[in-house]
Structure 1
Amino acid sequence: MDLIGSLPAFLLAVLLISASPGPAMALIFRRAALRGFRSAVGTVLGLEAGLYIWAIAAGAGLTALVAASETAYLVLRLAGAAFLVYLGIRSWIAVFRGGVEAPVPAGDPGGRSFARAVGEGVVVQLANPKAAIFMFAFYPQFIPENWPLLSTTAVLALVQVTVETALYLALAASVARAGAWFRKAKIRRRIEAITGTVLIALGLRVAVSSQ
């Protein structure tokens, strides 16, 4: 098996993984709907930066330590769960505030919100120990024998990041087109309630799940 020959199977797996519902989808949808495309771009870049860091860690063998250490896995798992629950609670706080907060302008031109979106995406991805273990188990299947593990993993991760970024930006752009409708007070509260519930549920699932 060579790397080129394994790419079709790798791309198919990446597409299926990217399309699976999870924290990434929830965050991107919420950002695009309520704060516009630019802010959602920050979330996507943050998520993919975190993904690439985990991939490099997998290539370097660091994620094997996470998988092998119950303490490291527990700490990461609880940290990730706590952050997801925190994001969900924050959404529900916005629901209870009703129309007190001023509507967010389309496009959200402020740099502070963009930076916050990037940071949020990075933290969500890095605080997910299952992502680390997945990388450790997933990438070696597509790396030819006798190929350098770290550099080949870096190349495959770059392919995955490129594919996921394109898909997530397309999703964000589609949602952002209906931004004016999403930012109506009634619809906004419903989105906050739905995404808040989803994030809290995902956080609790992470907290109680095992390797």
Structure 2
Amino acid sequence: MLGTQDLIQFIIAGILLNIAPGPDSILIMTRSATQGWRAGSAAALGVGAGTMVHIMAAALGLSALLATSATAFTIVKLAGAAYLLYVGVSMLLSRAKSAEQVQAGTTSQPLLSHRKIFMQGFLTNVLNPKVAIFFLAFVPQFIAADASNKPLALIFLGCIFNFNGMIWCHILAVSTAFARQRVAVNQAVTLWLNRFIGLMFVSFGIKLALSNKN
């Protein structure tokens, strides 16, 4: 179909890759746990929009630039690492502030708008050059050598990958929000959990900053 091959294997591999935990899934779970499934869904849609940018970039050959140019890769990598560090540190600082509120007897916390959460998901995904390299290295394996329009085949496969990813991300958002409602967690545990998630984002940022193209 459209010059693709081994489509079932591609779908299975894509689902397994989407299930693997990373900054995107952590962000979705965090927003669902703190603001409900709609917030998690907003983050998921942001991730999906970022994935579409990578798909179109791969189809246009821009991902090849990241794969071959050390300078371009480093610039995008450092921008992505800086953003992940910013998100992680912001969470750590906001949670520390919330701890002071708990001691003072107030637990209200400002909520992010769905638009801001969408942008968090978008930037977390689109500023990760590893995703661009993934689409350049993984997806072409499932495009037939004699395909008449390889960019179109890549877009087609990328959309399938993103569609399945969105299903998984929304399942993650809804299930996390459902579990949060059913499990009684006291404020102190919630604060420490959020701090831990903040540290995870910091670690993701450091790992991305120190990574190479391989």
**Above 0.5 in TM-score?**
yes
Aligned residue in 1 for 2:85: 85
Equivalent-residue separation in structure 1 for 2:186 and 2:156 (angstroms): 43
Tell whether the 8 Å contact from 2:3 to 2:146 is kept in structure 1 after alignment.
no
The CA deviation string for residues 11-55 of structure 1, in whole angstroms up to 9 with x for no partner, is 111111111111011101101100110011110001011111101
Compute the TM-score of the two structures, normalised by the length of structure 1: 0.90
Aligned residue in 2 for 1:178: 179
Aligned residue in 1 for 2:71: 71
| Superposed counterparts of 1:125-136, under 5 Å | 125-136=125-136
Q: 1:64 to 1:182 in 2, by over 3 A?
A: farther
Structure 1 window deviating more from structure 2 (79-88 vs 173-182): it is 173-182
**SS of the residue aligned with 1:178?**
helix
Q: 1:73 to 1:5 in 2, by over 3 A?
A: closer
| Aligned amino acid, residue 8 of structure 1 | I
| Superposed counterparts of 1:32-111, under 5 Å | 32-97=32-97, 98=99, 100=101, 102-103=108-109
Aligned residue in 2 for 1:9: 9
**CA shift for structure 1 position 179:** 3.1
Tell whether the 8 Å contact from 1:45 to 1:165 is kept in structure 2 after alignment.
yes
| Aligned amino acid, residue 207 of structure 1 | A
Tell whether the 8 Å contact from 2:43 to 2:120 is kept in structure 1 after alignment.
yes
Tell whether the 8 Å contact from 1:48 to 1:161 is kept in structure 2 after alignment.
yes
| Superposed counterparts of 1:109-128, under 5 Å | 113-128=113-128
Q: 1:23 to 1:182 in 2, by over 3 A?
A: farther
Aligned residue in 2 for 1:151: 152
**CA shift for structure 1 position 5:** 4.8
Equivalent-residue separation in structure 2 for 1:195 and 1:142 (angstroms): 35
Compute the TM-score of the two structures, normalised by the length of structure 2: 0.89
Tell whether the 8 Å contact from 1:63 to 1:136 is kept in structure 2 after alignment.
yes
Percent of residue pairs bearing the same amino acid type:
29
**SS of the residue aligned with 1:102?**
coil
The CA deviation string for residues 130-174 of structure 1, in whole angstroms up to 9 with x for no partner, is 111111111110011232121111111111111111111111111
Tell whether the 8 Å contact from 2:2 to 2:153 is kept in structure 1 after alignment.
no
Cα RMSD of the aligned pairs, angstroms, is: 2.0
